[in-house]
Amino acid sequence: MAVSCAVLICAPPIAAAQEESKPEESKPAWDLSKPCENTQHPYEADLCQQWRTAEAAERAAANSERTVGLTRLLMLIGAVATVLLLLMFIPLLMAVFAARRAASGGVASPASDADREEEMRAYVDVDKIEFIETPESEGIVKVKVAFRNTGQTPAFKTRSATNVDIRDVADEDMIPVMPLPDRAANSPRARLGRDATLTDIVECDSTPSLADRVMNGDATIVVWGWTEYYDVFDRKQRTVFQYLCNADTLDTGQIFKPMTRGDETR
């Protein structure tokens, strides 16, 4: 009994001594590559603070570099937009300068004006002549004449007049210059655009065996007339024409051949 008490009494001091005699657990070592982890001394804390300051400075420098790059890009875009805007104003400035030169007396010569008008105006002439009906059908000769504007600008108030007739001669030199029709067969067309066409259809009575007579060189079909129009410079223009169809033109496949009248264009 006495021994048990002695053991109980002595047990707490022995346990406390054993706890004190245990070795302290070691802390992780401080690493220079990670200065802000496991700091144990004041100078290590100072190095951590310096490292954080340097890292913040690097981030600020990177952000500043990106900002500079963006600024340069915006400046480049602005310069390109300015150049494009200036290019858009060049034609306007040229027109203004030309107007000022004209107002101050520096106008082009009459010859250059005439050349410009000749280059830019409308030109309406015969584009094609063809038979609608064969010369033997229904005892008539029916011909379609197509006029075309081959100029650079439209023609205005275009009208035309065309006739067709049969001459009992085959030699071209024997065919006279036919008198022009007095009146137009159609009402004026308000506008004939560039490369647009206008058509006249004319007819005359056929003679017996006309096709054979033309093929044999005994007759000639003559088509003639005129077309008038105004160009963009408000100048009245006139084209006169005369075509023939005989054995020679049929042999060559030309069908209708233009003749020289001497008053083709006025």
Residues 6+ apart with CB under 8 A from 27: 38, 40
Residues 6+ apart with CB under 8 A from 242: 177, 178, 222, 223, 224, 258, 259, 261
| Residue 198 scores a pLDDT above 60 | yes
The answer to whether 205 and 139 are in contact (CB under 8 A) is yes
| Residue 194 scores a pLDDT above 60 | yes
Give the three-class secondary structure for 64: helix
Instruction: Tell me the C-alpha distance between 262 and 251, whole Å.
Output: 26
Task: For residue 55, give both structure tokens.
Answer: 């890292």
Q: 123-126, long-range: CB within 8 Å, 24+ apart, which pairs? A: 123/149, 123/150, 123/151, 123/237, 124/148, 124/149, 124/150, 124/151, 124/155, 124/158, 124/192, 124/198, 124/227, 124/229, 124/237, 124/239, 125/150, 125/227, 125/239, 125/241, 126/239, 126/241, 126/243, 126/258
Note the pLDDT of residue 243: 95
User: Exposed, middle or buried by CB within 10 Å (0-12, 13-18, 19+), for 86?
Assistant: exposed
Alpha helices (H) in the chain, listed in sequence order: 2-21, 42-103, 110-120, 210-215, 247-252
The rounded percent of the chain whose pLDDT value lies above 90 is 28
- pLDDT level of residue 7 (50, 70, 90 thresholds): very low
Q: Which of 11-15, 134-138, 245-249, 256-260 has the lowest mean pLDDT?
A: 11-15
Task: Give CA separation, 25 vs 20, 22, 39, 247, in Å.
Answer: 13, 9, 17, 130
Note the pLDDT of residue 192: 92
Domain ranges of the chain: 121-258
Instruction: Tell me the C-alpha distance between 117 and 151, whole Å.
Output: 11
Instruction: Tell me the C-alpha distance between 207 and 214, whole Å.
Output: 11
Note the pLDDT of residue 33: 63
Instruction: Tell me the C-alpha distance between 84 and 63, whole Å.
Output: 32
Query: Average pLDDT for residues 199-203, to the nearest whole number?
Result: 90
Task: Give CA separation, 264 vs 147, 151, 183, in Å.
Answer: 14, 17, 17
- pLDDT level of residue 149 (50, 70, 90 thresholds): very high
Q: Which amino acid is at 234?
A: D
The answer to whether 156 and 230 are in contact (CB under 8 A) is yes
| Residue 23 scores a pLDDT above 80 | no
Residues 6+ apart with CB under 8 A from 93: none
Instruction: Tell me the C-alpha distance between 9 and 163, whole Å.
Output: 153
Instruction: Tell me the C-alpha distance between 40 and 30, whole Å.
Output: 7
Q: Which amino acid is at 95?
A: A
User: What are 71-124's pLDDT values in tens digits?
Assistant: 888 898 989 988 888 888 787 777 777 766 665 554 555 667 778 888 899 999
The CATH number of 121-258 is 2.60.40.10
